[in-house]
Amino acid sequence: MRIVQLIDSLEPGGAEKMAVTYANVLASEVSFSALITTRKEGALKKELDSDVSYLFANRKSVFDARSIWQVRKYLKKNRVSIIQAHSSSFFFALLLKITKPSLKIVWHDHYGFSDFVSERKNKKAIQLASLFFFRIITVNDKLKVWAEKNLYCKAIKYLPNFVSVTNNDDGIRLKGAEGKRILCLANLREQKNHLLLLKVAKKIKEIYPDWTFHLVGKDFGDTYSATLRERISVLELENTVFLYGSTDNSGYVIKQSQIGVLTSVSEGLPVSLLEYGYFSLPVVTTAVGEIPSIIKETNGILVPEGNTELFSEGLLKLIADSDYRQKIGSAFKNDIEQHYTKESVLKDYLNFINNGN
């Protein structure tokens, strides 16, 4: 098998991390493993292993003939038979297939608003594109059900994201007192609902003023970002909540933290949650997307989406009891090792690509 991962950008994000992860783990499993980024490079480029072939297409427009031709030549030279297109990169994959009909497209759907997938804006485009898909991989069961009902390609499988992290002590150094840090590893998007986290932070500050919150993720410099910064000021949380931007070494910031949180209104299967578990970080998270299939009473605290009171109660419980934090953190790590590592997913992946089941 000679396979390429296709992604629009290498800025840190869930789909982007999985594209890099698949390229890396397949390098030792198939004849040729590569990654192509179409539109923009980014910090995740340095996480590519040396034995993974790489190409930056530098696409300037939707129908950029130069970049399409460049990638086609690359695929032909390296005798690539399969292209795994992550998220919206499926459109570029279709343009490539027009020029190289033998190319097989595996669409990897990472749609983050899976709880609202019926409202998906580009449904018609995906439906038409699915006529040319060879396989479809989804990151949770809700997306699988949607694909089965709406798309023409019927070779569809839910494969969970799996964890693969950089593990060295180099990167962002978190502020605040050691041993009293709460981490939210998520890009600054409305879907992640950091505004709820600020309300929680205000409540926690009143009881445990020395505990701090650390928001690590890409800042898009948009209205949402400006609103977050304004709310931090209004709530007088400047010395409680810290923003850092994105990181290419999530393991380093996780190891500096005592509790991990996610306050999302919708999710697929968040890679950051798997990373929390990989490092035994106890978590409080909202019950959205595929998260309830991972977090149980024994390995974390799950609360209804949008419930500030219950989220605060969960955090207070973890803050007050370090033994409990250690207990559920260890249980979480054990579950991740059993079900969400490359060893647990790769066999199913290769069987699906080869046999469609």
Domain membership of residue 102 (yes or no) is yes
pLDDT at 114: 63
The C-alpha atoms of residue 349 and residue 357 are separated, in whole angstroms, by: 9
Share the mean pLDDT of the chain: 94
Domain membership of residue 220 (yes or no) is yes
Instruction: List pLDDT tens digits, range 3-18.
Output: 999 999 999 888 999 9
The C-alpha atoms of residue 298 and residue 304 are separated, in whole angstroms, by: 17
**pLDDT tier at 34, thresholds 50, 70, 90:** very high
The C-alpha atoms of residue 262 and residue 286 are separated, in whole angstroms, by: 6
Secondary structure of residue 187 in the 3-state scheme: coil
| Same domain, yes or no: 347 and 324 | no
| Same domain, yes or no: 129 and 199 | no
Structure-model confidence comparison of residues 25 and 114, the more confident one:
25
Domain membership of residue 30 (yes or no) is yes
Sheet-wide strand order for 283-286? 241-245, 212-216, 181-185, 259-262, 283-286, 301-303
CATH number at residue 291: 3.40.50.2000
Contact at 8 Å (CB) between 174 and 254?
no
Instruction: List pLDDT tens digits, range 231-258.
Output: 999 999 999 999 999 998 899 999 999 9
pLDDT at 67: 96
The residue segments making up the domain with residue 265 are: 181-339
Secondary structure of residue 18 in the 3-state scheme: helix
| Same domain, yes or no: 189 and 237 | yes
Contact at 8 Å (CB) between 197 and 263?
yes
| Same domain, yes or no: 194 and 307 | yes
Strands 301-303, 259-262: pairing kind? unpaired
| Same domain, yes or no: 186 and 308 | yes
The C-alpha atoms of residue 123 and residue 235 are separated, in whole angstroms, by: 40
| Same domain, yes or no: 55 and 200 | no
Q: Which two tokens stand for residue 185?
A: 């590893």
pLDDT at 108: 98
pLDDT at 95: 96
Q: Tally helices (H) and strands (E) across the chain.
A: 12, 13
**What percentage of the chain reaches a pLDDT higher than 90?**
84
The C-alpha atoms of residue 255 and residue 276 are separated, in whole angstroms, by: 9
| Same domain, yes or no: 334 and 345 | no
Residue bearing tokens 């579950």: 335
| Same domain, yes or no: 315 and 348 | no
The C-alpha atoms of residue 38 and residue 40 are separated, in whole angstroms, by: 6
The C-alpha atoms of residue 340 and residue 184 are separated, in whole angstroms, by: 20
pLDDT at 237: 98
| Same domain, yes or no: 147 and 113 | yes
Dihedral of CA atoms 289, 294, 295, 296 in degrees, nearest 10, equals 120
Instruction: List pLDDT tens digits, range 167-225.
Output: 677 889 999 999 999 999 999 999 999 999 999 999 999 999 999 999 999 999 999 99
| Same domain, yes or no: 313 and 205 | yes
| Same domain, yes or no: 142 and 189 | no
pLDDT at 115: 64
Domain membership of residue 169 (yes or no) is no
Domain membership of residue 167 (yes or no) is no
Structure-model confidence comparison of residues 156 and 114, the more confident one:
156
Contact at 8 Å (CB) between 181 and 281?
no
Structure-model confidence comparison of residues 243 and 341, the more confident one:
243
Domain membership of residue 136 (yes or no) is yes
Domain membership of residue 176 (yes or no) is no
Number of domains into which the chain is organized: 2
Secondary structure of residue 203 in the 3-state scheme: helix
Domain membership of residue 171 (yes or no) is no
| Same domain, yes or no: 329 and 240 | yes
- Rg (C-alpha) for the chain, rounded Å, is 21
Strand partners, 340: none
pLDDT at 14: 87
